[in-house]
């Protein structure tokens, strides 16, 4: 595969990941808007947020091959925050 082909494929991959992030954002907004807040709904929205954070950290921030320490901190941030927020709604 030529260098130009790989570059085009990488660009297409980023566009597709951006569209995935856009779809997930719209889906969670539409899911959460008309309903009353429940712990299950909060957990679902925050789980999707954790998935979006992984895509952002690995693909857009380019930390897929970064040292484990930095990657782990950034990947743990969204799930830890999600658990804290979910527990806040639970109690």
- Residues in contact with 56: Cβ distance below 8 Å, sequence separation at least 6, in sequence order: 21
What residue ranges do the domains of the chain occupy?
A: 3-90
What pLDDT, on the 0 to 100 scale, is given for residue 46? 83
Neighbours of 58 (CB within 10 A): 17
CA 66, 71, 74, 72: dihedral to nearest 10 degrees? -170
Residue 2 pLDDT: 65
Tens-level pLDDT at each residue, the chain (91 residues): 666 667 777 789 889 999 999 999 999 888 888 777 787 888 888 889 889 998 989 888 888 888 999 888 988 988 898 888 878 877 7
Dihedral sign (CA 41, 43, 44, 49): positive
């Amino acid at each position: 595969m030529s260098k130009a082909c790989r570059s085009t494929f990488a660009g297409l991959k980023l566009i597709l990941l951006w569209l995935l992030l856009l779809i997930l954002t719209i889906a969670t907004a539409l899911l959460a808007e008309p309903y009353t807040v429940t712990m299950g709904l909060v957990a679902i929205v925050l789980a999707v947020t954790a998935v979006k954070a992984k895509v952002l950290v690995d693909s857009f921030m380019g930390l897929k091959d970064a040292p484990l320490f930095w990657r782990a901190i950034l990947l743990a941030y969204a799930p830890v925050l999600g658990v804290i927020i979910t527990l806040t709604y639970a109690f």
